[in-house]
Amino acid sequence: MGKDGLVPTPYALPEPTALGARRPVRRMVRPVQGRRLGGVCAGLAEHLNLNVRHVRLAFIVASLGGGAGIVAYLFLWALTPQGLEVTQVADADAMAVSRPAHESVRNLLVGLGLLVVGGVLWAQQHGLNLHLGVSFPVLAVASGAVLAWSKLDDNERERWLVRDIGSGGRRVALIRLVIGITLASGGVVVLATQGLGLAGLWSVGIAAVAVLAGAALIAAPWGVRLWGELRAEQAQRIRETERADIAAHLHDSVLQTLALIQRKSGDPAEVVRLARSQERELRGWLYAGPVGSQASLASAVTEVVHEVEDLHGVPIELVVTGDRALDIGGSVLVRALREALLNAVRHGAPPVSVYVEMGSELVEAFVRDHGPGFDLADVPQDRLGVRESILGRMSRHGGSARVRRLEHGTEISISVPVSAVSPPVAQPDWGIQAEVAGQTGTTSQPDS
Amino acid sequence: MNEPLSPDDTVIRLVLVDDHRMFRSGVKAELDESMVIVGEAADVDEAIVVVAQTRPDVVLLDVHLPGGNGNGGSDVITGSNGVTTESGEPVRFLALSVSDAAEDVIAVIRAGARGYVTKTIDGRDLTDAIRRVAGGDAVFSPRLAGFVLDAFGAAAGEVAVIDEELDRLSAREREVMRLIARGYQYKEVAKELFISIKTVETHVSSVLRKLQLSSRHELTAWAVGRHLL
């Protein structure tokens, strides 16, 4: 192909320049390497250009003073995505950039959480002594929430949406979610039933469930909408990929052939051959090929017809009814058919048509051309060979062949009895088929 | 064909319906002066309007068309139901396709088209086919004949005992279909079977009727699963 043959792909996906051009936002990630606990301190230090030790020390100090450090650590741990390997930080950034508006919701949550923590700390400093009985359930709630939310970031959610993920990872995530929710709601209930008996526990538990149900009811439409949007987005992406695939295929096949045809416009035979083979290729791609397996008689016939078409650039109209497995009898018929076709293409005139009927007792093939026909008494020299390889071959294998002169053209008919061929393709028992094929092999001479 | 096919050499009024303008002009160039194109349309809705206005003898109908209910040519036929020519004959449809997906072809035939030919047909054969359809006969390409033989189980030897049976072909219809599948013209079929061309046409029309009315379940199943190569 020269340079002029290179046609730009029309529907190729545009490069994501609009996204890539955006100023990359540095996002805090928890590094995998160099972490002690959850990688929060390391990540924070990296993000703020601080010494890791100082950050760790600050957290420990803050934790000693009322546990604020622990709470802050847990929040950061839950809401910071885990970083990739150091070499892939750039990729992580790119991923972070393409995140949707979901980010603002998260920021809101972080803000609220910090507000709550601040409020609690402020209350404690002003004489409200928080005992272990209170802070323990709070911790349970917090860790439950962390457990439930920690892995539910964008990547995870995407994987949840994609159905064909290995069910193992999904199950683990689900277990985490369930445990987290149980822990959090258990903590809430214990917190609310401070000093109450078992009866109080029950009533508060029921109230908590009622509140949760109410909240779920309120949040449901929003959740459903979000879910729907995500599905739509994903479907759109799949469509675009398919479109790009189709564009690529058309570019590689049809457009290249068209370019070739333009160059060879002076050679009609070549143009016909190119157009015909391209048509076939496109049909095969669109309709996933001819019916039947590779080893079926119909596909063998189709193959031979296409081969002759390509050799001589003469279009051949092919009609096939029924199908059966290909074996010796069938391949003899196919070889004879090939000779007949070559004969029709060389000596006859188009249109050339082939009809192959695979009946219950007989497989018949008819090759018809519209040439001037020939007188049987005045057979040209080269037709003797054709006759040998068609008539002779068929009679050797228990079939028959006949050449007829019609008013417009010639028709060669070939037939093989079904007993010499094989049972229909639809028959599921391959053992029996192999047996029949073997029998055919012993009764008929190998063709050479 | 050497002799005129139509007993009265009247001019046939034609409407071309195809969404490819290049194909329409190609057809126009190929047809002889016994055909006059009175209208053209590129989609289903336009086609229904043009057919109702011009009341042609024959509509050359692409199987795949934009618009309508999304069923292409079938929608045009349904939408033009009851439209007649000035002489009171129903407007006839000849389906034309490159698709060869059996379900499309069978859908347009069952909607009421009088025949089906592929777009690779040459000008003479097309003129011939249009004349036949204008005269109320059916036109079967070799592929459509092969399809009928396969779908009705005739290739496997199933033959109707009485001619009126809708789900099977009669022995004679099977013979006619086989010869058409082998690439024979109607005249050659008639000669081969020692019957008149008129009788061949009757058989083909009867097969077309069976194709349109039969509820043979394999017909649809077959069509969905296959493509006329």
Residue A125, in any domain of the structure: yes
Which of the pair, A374 or A110, is modelled with greater confidence?
A: A110
Q: Is the pLDDT confidence value at A437 over 50?
A: no
Identify the domain containing residue A124 by its residue range: 23-130
Q: Mark whether A301 and A432 lie in a shared domain.
A: yes
pLDDT at A20: 40
Question: If you write DSSP's letter for every residue of A116-164 in order, what string do you get?
Answer: HHHHHHHHHHTT----HHHHHHHHHHHHHHHHHHHT-SHHHHHHHHSTT
**A153 in a domain, yes or no?**
no
A15: pLDDT strictly greater than 70 = no
* ipTM higher than threshold 0.90: no
Question: A326 CB contacts (<8 Å, ≥6 apart)?
Answer: A295, A296, A297, A299, A300, A334, A422
A360/A365: higher pLDDT: A365
Q: Which residues on A lie below 8 Å from B225 (Cβ)? A: 291
Q: Residue A441 above 60 pLDDT?
A: no
Classify residue A14: in a domain, yes or no.
Answer: no
Whether residue A275 sits in one domain with residue A352: no
Contacts of B185 in chain A (CB under 8 A): 408
Average pLDDT per consecutive 10 residues, chain B (229 residues; last block may be shorter) = 50 86 82 84 85 86 81 80 77 81 79 83 83 85 83 66 67 87 86 88 86 68 52
Cβ proximity of A433 and A423 under 8 Å: yes
Query: Is the domain of A206 the same as that of A336?
Result: no
Residue A255 per-residue DSSP state: I
Q: Work out the pLDDT band at A288, boundaries 50, 70, 90.
A: low
Of B146, B157, B229, the CB nearest to A355: B146
Between chains, do A319 and B178 touch, taking CB under 8 Å as contact?
A: no
Tell me which residue in B142, B155, B226 faces A317 most closely, judged by beta carbons.
B142
Tokens at residue A224, please? 């459903």
CB count within 10 Å of CB B48 equals 22
Give domain status of residue A302, yes or no.
yes
* Residue A435 pLDDT greater than 50, yes or no: no
Q: What is the DSSP string of A296-356?
A: BHHHHHHHHHHHHHHHH---EEEEEE--BB--HHHHHHHHHHHHHHHHHHHHS-SPEEEEE
- Name which of B6, B176, B8, B17 is nearest B91 in CA terms: B17
Quick one: A61 and A81 in the same domain?
yes
Q: Is A353 close to B182, i.e. CB distance below 8 A?
A: yes
CA B143 to chain A, closest CA, distance in angstroms equals 6
Q: Which of A167-171, A329-333, B129-133 has the highest mean pLDDT?
A: B129-133
Q: What are the chain B neighbours of A366 within 8 Å (beta carbons)? A: 182-183
Residue A187 lies in a domain: no
CB of A317 within 8 Å of any CB in chain B? yes
Reported in sequence order, the residue ranges of B21-158 that DSSP labels E, i.e. its strands, are 35-41, 58-62, 92-97, 115-118, 139-140
- Examine the domain organization and report whether A221 and A121 are in the same domain: no
- Check CB contact of A404 with chain B, cutoff 8 Å: no
pLDDT value at residue A337: 86
**Within a domain: residue A142?**
no
The per-residue pLDDT for B35 is 84
Within 8 A of B119 by CB-CB distance, chain A residues are none
* Domain boundary pick from A254, A288, A322: A288
Phi then psi for residue A365, to 5 deg, are -130, 135
Q: Are residues A429 and A327 in the same domain?
A: yes
Q: What domains sit in chain B, N to C, each tagged with a CATH number?
A: 1-6+13-136 (3.40.50.2300), 140-229 (1.10.10.10)
Which residues of chain B are within 8 Å of residue A427 when distances are taken between CB atoms? none
User: Of the residues A96, A130, A164, which one is the last residue of a structural domain?
Assistant: A130
Distance from CA of A333 to the nearest CA of B (A): 17
- Same-domain check for residues A224 and A309: no
Residue of B nearest to A279 (CA): B98
Which residues does chain B have within 8 Å of residue A359's beta carbon, measured at their own beta carbons? 155-157
Smallest Cα distance from B118 to chain A, Å: 11
Report helix angle B142-151 to B217-225, nearest 10: 130
Tell me: do A230 and A343 sit in the same domain.
no
Whether A248 maps to a domain, the answer reads: yes
Order of all β-strands in the sheet with B139-140: B35-41, B12-17, B58-62, B92-97, B115-118, B139-140
For the cut 50, the answer to whether the pLDDT of residue A245 exceeds it is yes
CA distance B214 to B66: 28
Q: Are residues A275 and A317 in the same domain?
A: no
Q: How close A377 comes to chain B (CA, Å)? A: 22
Highest mean pLDDT among A103-112, A145-154, B140-149 belongs to B140-149
A46 and A87 in one domain?
yes
Shortest CB distance from B143 goes to which of A319, A368, A408?
A319
Asked whether the predicted pLDDT for residue A262 surpasses 80, the reply is yes
Same domain, A424 and A333: yes
Tell whether the model's pLDDT for residue A267 goes beyond 80: yes
Distance CA A185, CA B67 (A): 57
Length of chain B equals 229
Query: What is the average pLDDT score of chain A?
Result: 71
Q: Are residues A356 and A298 in the same domain?
A: yes
pTM for this predicted structure:
0.54
Omega before A100 within 30 of 0, i.e. cis: no
Tell me if B191 and A366 make a contact (CB, 8 A cut-off): no
Domain count, chain A: 3
Are residues A357 and B227, on separate chains, in Cβ contact within 8 Å?
no
Partner B contacted by A353 (CB < 8 A): yes
3-state secondary structure of B83: coil
CB contact under 8 A, B188 and A319: no
Identify the residue with better confidence: A24 or A291.
A24
pLDDT (average), residues A283-287: 73
Q: At what angle do helices A40-48 and A52-64 cross, to 10 degrees?
A: 120
State the residue for tokens 């290249």: A256
- Judge whether A38 lies within some domain: yes
From A371, A335, A341, A374, select the one nearest A355 (Cα to Cα). A341
Question: In the listed set A237, A272, A288, which residue is the last one of a domain according to the structure?
Answer: A288
Q: Is there a contact between B96 and B120 (Cβ–Cβ < 8 Å)? A: no
User: Which pLDDT score, from 0 to 100, does residue A393 have?
Assistant: 77
